[in-house]
């Protein structure tokens, strides 16, 4: 059995899903792929089924309704841990993350990192084709979250990452509060607080060429509100120390 599971969350990604899955399978043929689709009205779920039908390394988790990125990933993580994968990857379906970065990121996870972040905001990382307001939101949001949470991670919101299973296993999924993209901040910060070794690997993020972003004001507001609250209460909510 493969030891790596690449989880691809989808909502209306019919135009980009096949090529993303194809590239992942080509670049890391030893890794399985799990598509987590929230009943996309554009037929992404059916397309995912046909990809799984054609390739034993691909499977699909269908969820009943659009329930946020965080919930989709948690469902995928539970499945990954149940099935005994030791490395679990997050990657967007829209082509913004280049699977060519995966071999290097997986190697970092195999050689000691519990969490490898594909990072836009470290030396050597960048974003292409984002309108300036989106760049400002990401940069300001990351700076604010770093300050509020006392974090030293530069790209807390990155959606391109590799977790070692032991790091995910140590997190209590039931208590993960975030629904939307704030989930990424929450998980990275919890790993950091728990003392896991986190490495940021520079990536070039390329804004999608097809389909539409699911980013909306509610996602930013959720992140702002939660990060502010965590920042205020953080002294009282330390993670239980990890047994080494």
Ligand X SMILES: Nc1nc2c(ncn2[C@@H]2O[C@H](COP(=O)(O)OP(=O)(O)O)[C@@H](O)[C@H]2O)c(=O)[nH]1
Q: What are the residues binding ligand X (CB under 6 A)?
A: 9-11, 13, 36-38, 66-69, 72, 92-94, 96, 159, 208, 213-215
CA dihedral over 33, 96, 135, 132, signed as positive or negative? negative
Name the burial class of residue 173, with classes exposed (0-12), middle (13-18) and buried (19+) by CB atoms within 10 angstroms of its CB: middle
Q: How far apart are CB 105 and ligand X at their closest, in Å?
A: 17
Measured in degrees and rounded to the nearest 5, phi and psi for residue 125 equal -95, 155
Which residue minimizes CB distance to ligand X?
A: 213
Q: How far apart are CB 184 and Mg ion at their closest, in Å?
A: 13
In terms of CB distance, is 94 or 155 closer to Mg ion? 94
In terms of CB distance, is 129 or 228 closer to Mg ion? 129
Q: Is residue 55 within 8 Å of residue 18, measured between CB atoms?
A: no
Number of alpha carbons in the 13 Å side-chain half-sphere of residue 46? 3
Give the three-class secondary structure for 149: helix
* Rounded Cα gap, residues 61 and 37, in angstroms: 6
In terms of CB distance, is 155 or 170 closer to ligand X? 155
Q: Does 96 bind Mg ion (CB under 5 A)?
A: yes
In terms of CB distance, is 13 or 186 closer to ligand X? 13
Give the three-class secondary structure for 90: strand
Which residue minimizes CB distance to Mg ion?
A: 94
Q: Does 200 bind Mg ion (CB under 5 A)?
A: no
In terms of CB distance, is 30 or 218 closer to Mg ion? 218
Q: Does 186 bind Mg ion (CB under 5 A)?
A: no
Q: How far apart are CB 8 and Mg ion at their closest, in Å?
A: 12
Q: Is residue 59 within 8 Å of residue 32, measured between CB atoms?
A: yes
Q: How far apart are CB 207 and ligand X at their closest, in Å?
A: 7
CA dihedral over 211, 217, 221, 224, signed as positive or negative? positive
Q: Which of residues 98-157 bind Mg ion (CB under 5 A)?
A: none
Q: Rounded to the nearest 10 degrees, how much is the dihedral formed by the CA atoms of 125, 228, 178, 98?
A: -10
69 touches, from ligand X, Mg ion, none (C-beta below 5 to 8 Å by class): ligand X
In terms of CB distance, is 4 or 138 closer to ligand X? 138
In terms of CB distance, is 112 or 133 closer to ligand X? 133
Q: Which of residues 35-94 bind Mg ion (CB under 5 A)?
A: 94
Cβ count near 229 (within 10 Å): 13
Q: How far apart are CB 149 and ligand X at their closest, in Å?
A: 20
Q: How far apart are CB 209 and ligand X at their closest, in Å?
A: 11
* Rounded Cα gap, residues 16 and 22, in angstroms: 10
CA dihedral over 54, 60, 64, 68, signed as positive or negative? negative
Task: Give residues in contact with Mg ion (CB under 5 A).
Answer: 94, 96, 208
């Amino acid at each position: 059995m493969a030891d790596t599971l690449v989880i691809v969350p989808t909502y209306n990604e019919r135009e980009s899903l096949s090529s993303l899955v194809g590239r992942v399978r080509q670049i890391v043929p030893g890794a399985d792929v799990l598509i987590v689709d929230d009943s996309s009205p554009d037929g992404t779920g059916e397309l995912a089924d046909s990809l799984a039908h054609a390739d034993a390394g691909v499977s699909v988790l269908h969820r009943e309704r659009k329930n946020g990125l965080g919930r989709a990933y948690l469902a995928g993580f539970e499945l990954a841990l149940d099935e005994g994968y030791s490395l679990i990857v997050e990657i967007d379906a829209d082509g913004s993350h280049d699977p060519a970065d995966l071999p290097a990121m997986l190697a970092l996870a195999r050689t000691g990192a519990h969490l490898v972040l594909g990072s836009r905001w470290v030396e050597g990382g960048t974003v292409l084709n984002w309108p300036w307001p989106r760049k400002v939101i990401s940069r300001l949001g990351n700076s604010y979250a770093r300050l509020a949470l006392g974090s030293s991670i530069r790209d807390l919101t990155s959606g391109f990452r590799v977790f070692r299973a032991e790091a995910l296993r140590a997190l209590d999924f039931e208590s993960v509060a975030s629904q939307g993209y704030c989930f990424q901040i929450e998980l990275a910060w919890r790993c950091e607080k728990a003392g896991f070794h986190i490495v940021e690997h520079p990536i070039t993020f390329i804004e999608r060429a097809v389909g539409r972003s699911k980013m909306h004001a509610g996602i930013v507001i959720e992140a702002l509100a939660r990060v502010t609250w965590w920042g205020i209460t953080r002294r009282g909510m330390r993670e239980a120390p990890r047994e080494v």
